[in-house]
Amino acid sequence: MKFYVPFTIGVSQAEQIYAVSKKRLDEIGFRVSARRIKSLSYWVNGQLVCQQVGDQAANGEIIAAIFESDVGYFISTYTANEELAESMSVRYSMLIMRSTVEDIDRFDQE
């Protein structure tokens, strides 16, 4: 599957939102990989949890991107907002530690 960010129109907007989100992680000291993660399966309390870009996260928000970093995987979601905004706000909802990860699926390389 080709890379995408939910609720974006075209490659340019998807790349812009992804780059801004990645930059925020870089700025606070995490080394973020160039690999683009489509889905992640990991263990929580003995249960396998699968999260995919575009799906609803446990907090009810839509997963915008999954970033691979030096400490684990950040799952970022669009923040719940009742008003339409000029640019969608993305936050980091979860950090998944590498030791809990069972499987990773990446977007196609171009």
Q: What is the DSSP string of 2-42?
A: ----TT--HHHHHHHHHHHHHHHHHHTT--EEEEEEEEEEE
Residue 91, domain extent? 10-106
Closest Cα to residue 39, out of 106, 109, 108, 110? Answer: 106
Tell whether 88 is covered by a domain.
yes
Mean per-residue pLDDT, 85-103: 81
pLDDT for 92 equals: 79
Tell whether 51 is covered by a domain.
yes
Domain count, the chain: 1
Split at pLDDT 50, 70, 90, the class of 109 is: low
- 49-93 pLDDT, tens digit per residue, is 999 999 998 888 899 999 999 999 999 998 765 444 445 577 777
SS3 string, 41-77, reads EEEECCEEEEEECCCECCCCCEEEEEEEECCEEEEEE
pLDDT for 89 equals: 72
The SS3 call for residue 98 is helix
Split at pLDDT 50, 70, 90, the class of 107 is: very high
- 27-56 pLDDT, tens digit per residue, is 999 999 999 999 999 999 999 999 999 999
Tell whether 86 is covered by a domain.
yes
Tell whether 101 is covered by a domain.
yes
Tell whether 3 is covered by a domain.
no
Tell whether 4 is covered by a domain.
no
Tell whether 1 is covered by a domain.
no
Tell whether 15 is covered by a domain.
yes
